[in-house]
Amino acid sequence: MAGGVARRDRFELPDSVRRFFEGDWDAAAMRVEEYQEGSTLVVKAEMPGIDPEKDVDITVSDGVLHIQAERQETTEHKEKGGYRTEFRYGSFARDVPLPSGSKDSDVSASYRDGVLEVRVPVAEQPATKAKIPVTRG
């Protein structure tokens, strides 16, 4: 050990660990935005490059919205000496807890420009306010 610095031999990491350290981990994540619009919960998820009719599964169960998608991409690089193809596969899933009063039967979903939008109607809850007394101990 020279100068207090240890030398480590290079070894191969599992693919998922390597992607995490190289910063490619987000490529396999599903970015989700959720907000309330009137009496509707809106959940938007970035899903570029998928076929929503074949690759997306949306379910509601026990007060949780479950979004699952699978992407399969193939790219070809043609050159003089031949060609090369690359395949990318990825499975993505997100669970979003729904507020109380959500109406599971009226959930709708649409897909446009690489963004999935799920709309969940929520029953208006009457605002209740209770004063909590503070006691001295």
Q: What is the pLDDT of residue 104?
A: 81
Q: What structural domains and CATH numbers belong to the chain? A: 35-121 (2.60.40.790)
Condensed to tens digits (0 to 9), the pLDDT of residues 32-73 reads 999 999 999 999 999 887 888 888 999 999 899 999 998 776
Condensed to tens digits (0 to 9), the pLDDT of residues 103-123 reads 888 899 999 999 999 999 988
Query: HEC string of the chain?
Result: CECCECCCCCCCCCHHHHHHHHCCHHHHCCCEEEEEECCEEEEEEECCCCCHHHHEEEEEECCEEEEEEEEEEEEEEEECCEEEEEEEEEEEEEEEECCCCECHHHCEEEEECCEEEEEEEECCCCCCCCCCCCCCC
Q: What pTM value is reported for the model?
A: 0.62
Q: What is the pLDDT of residue 124?
A: 75
